[in-house]
Structure 1
């Protein structure tokens, strides 16, 4: 004979009791975070940011490792991200500059990495994001660096050549496009769709199959498309979840992108180096000598010391005509002995080497 299931009132009573415990523990954690801030201030009265990228990465990694379900590890990690964001805001709210406007995928990446308690500030250009952080007007910045379908964001790479900022983290964001409309808009009345030209291209097959005759209008960003649609009853926008929430739009269709694995990688930029998290990357810029075998001389130390490259890009040098610099990402932290060995060896092999920083790999 099977065991009798509890009644709904009994289950709700259990949930209420669990919620009380969760509530008490969250506030207990918040009080502990406030004490951490007091200790840090006592040790360094000049401190302005209590955010530690390596510590938060370690916490999220532990959350996912110990998770036994039924919630997915990433889902639980996102909940902890928001708890940490709220606790950090009690100590000192983070000011985050990002490539705007509000509602873009870069905005979504900033919220994913820092949580909704951070103060996010949209900037018109990537250059402005760098300048805000350099001037101390923002603690950190968020900029796109590469997309799995469209390739590298060259302007971000170029900004690193002349900037003294460090990379302190990365975010990987799966790019999901939705067909959004204003409340009350009916499917049969849609005569045009707004979006950024890249998003229109990324949803071309879906649009050809479902809306072959409607006008497709390219605008400056998906967020701008959402803003325009908010005031129109005969239009739709292609944009992400953040834009839908920001402008109060209804999703007619979700995940309409032609490539469901399309992902954009964003970099978190700051002024200080990041200690090891245990699962890190390092990024460098290398200017090679103009000689035969120059690229081999750069790559050979990585192979010999067992360091895996995750990305290599070439950009024209801004100082010498027909000269090029290499942007290299590889696994490991600059404090690890084998990484130190490779960096020291590269200094002797290249014309110039710039260390952009070591930082935790994207966790969620």
Structure 2
């Protein structure tokens, strides 16, 4: 009987415009009901969690969300692309999570920065986001419990590592809970009062100016390049000036009501930045994970070799190695290492056990899902 009541599949190729619109309306009704049912389930999940642990309930599980988004992309049959479909589900999940408990997320501000864009990409538009003036302020906001998570940049494909972020981890107890990879597109923009044939200065963050150096040399060689604290600050300044332009992202153009004169002026077409999600929780296994550690070694011959050998011996794929001066003394260093796998994986645990025997200190910054989007 249930099969008789189920709607019969239709062939859009045999439908006229009116029929197609009717079919879309019918499908919209089904989608609306399913989203409402999903939201009701989310409310029940919150109720169950609060009963089990009223004071310590955890509502956001990074590994669970990564698994859901990965499954969406694997099951997608088109014609929407995998990332487009995953972004739709990202927003549905964000809205449902807000019903359980809205997340408070700090990010490197001000509003309109690429870091805010990364926060929206990772958490969706239903979080409460808070701009902070510096990376260490993001760390402090999360450590104090004023925000549940923070978002900070860690490396750019063109300009390299963000040292301030790495240094902040040395004296912090926060954990890395996730990562975001964001394609960075720089745009030249001007305000309503700008006389575009008389632009004599270009504002942007120093890294953005560096990432657009060749374009500026070719198209605006006489314009003064002025580095400011952020691309958003550059956009804010330009809004009220007649002889200046800014390099920033589309979000900043929308926020400060600027017109984009030239799109995608970055020198490297594959320019991207990686951001880290920081919090206080340990993250479970998602099935496709990455781990970050910081290691202090004795200053002796062969130290780096002894540090790296266990990764090879236990078949652990190391994806990044950075060296930073140690705060404990002159001419000593600590190593920041990213590698594939989770601390609960047997081979990862064996490799870390060997490193601990040789190192002065091994600090696990976190195991977390690899970026899905």
Q: Shorter chain as normaliser: what TM range?
A: over 0.9
* Distance apart, 1:71 and its partner CA: 1.2
Contact 1:100 1:107 in 2 (8 A): yes
Contact 1:49 1:92 in 2 (8 A): no
Contact 1:48 1:92 in 2 (8 A): no
* Distance apart, 1:180 and its partner CA: 2.0
2:38 counterpart residue number: 29
1:80-124 Cα distance to aligned partner (Å, 9 max, x none): 111111111111110011111111111111111111111111111
Contact 2:191 2:258 in 1 (8 A): yes
1:296 counterpart residue number: 305
* Distance apart, 1:245 and its partner CA: 2.3
1:120 counterpart residue number: 129
Once structures 1 and 2 are overlaid, which stretch shifts more, 163-172 or 226-235? 226-235
* Distance apart, 1:25 and its partner CA: 1.4
2:217 counterpart residue number: 208
Structure 2, unmatched stretches of 5+, are: 1-11
1:245 counterpart residue number: 254
Match of 2:185 among 136, 157, 176: 176
Give the 3-state SS of the residue equivalent to 2:324 in structure 1.
strand
Contact 2:177 2:282 in 1 (8 A): yes
Give the 3-state SS of the residue equivalent to 1:295 in structure 2.
helix
Where do residues 319-334 of structure 1 align in structure 2 (5 Å cutoff)? 319-334=328-343
Root mean square deviation of aligned Cα: 1.8
Give the 3-state SS of the residue equivalent to 1:243 in structure 2.
helix
Q: Report the Cα distance in structure 2 between the residues aligned to 1:330 and 1:9, rounded to whole angstroms.
A: 55
* Distance apart, 1:186 and its partner CA: 6.6
Q: Report the Cα distance in structure 2 between the residues aligned to 1:233 and 1:23, rounded to whole angstroms.
A: 48
- TM-score normalised over the length of structure 1: 0.94
Contact 2:105 2:127 in 1 (8 A): yes
Q: Report the Cα distance in structure 2 between the residues aligned to 1:191 and 1:324, rounded to whole angstroms.
A: 43
Q: Report the Cα distance in structure 2 between the residues aligned to 1:11 and 1:217, rounded to whole angstroms.
A: 54
Aligned in 2, Cα 1:55/1:232: closer, same or farther, shift over 3 Å?
same
Structure 1, unmatched stretches of 5+, are: none
Contact 2:69 2:86 in 1 (8 A): yes
Q: Report the Cα distance in structure 1 between the residues aligned to 2:13 and 2:71, rounded to whole angstroms.
A: 36
* Distance apart, 1:30 and its partner CA: 0.9
Q: Report the Cα distance in structure 2 between the residues aligned to 1:183 and 1:49, rounded to whole angstroms.
A: 47
Match of 2:143 among 107, 120, 134: 134
1:334-359 Cα distance to aligned partner (Å, 9 max, x none): 01111111111211111111111100
Query: Number of paired residues?
Result: 362
- TM-score normalised over the length of structure 2: 0.92
* Distance apart, 1:57 and its partner CA: 0.5
2:25 counterpart residue number: 16
* Distance apart, 1:252 and its partner CA: 2.5
* Distance apart, 1:319 and its partner CA: 1.1
Q: Report the Cα distance in structure 2 between the residues aligned to 1:244 and 1:20, rounded to whole angstroms.
A: 36
Where do residues 172-321 of structure 1 align in structure 2 (5 Å cutoff)? 172-183=181-192, 187-188=196-197, 190-321=199-330
Q: Report the Cα distance in structure 1 between the residues aligned to 2:334 and 2:143, rounded to whole angstroms.
A: 23
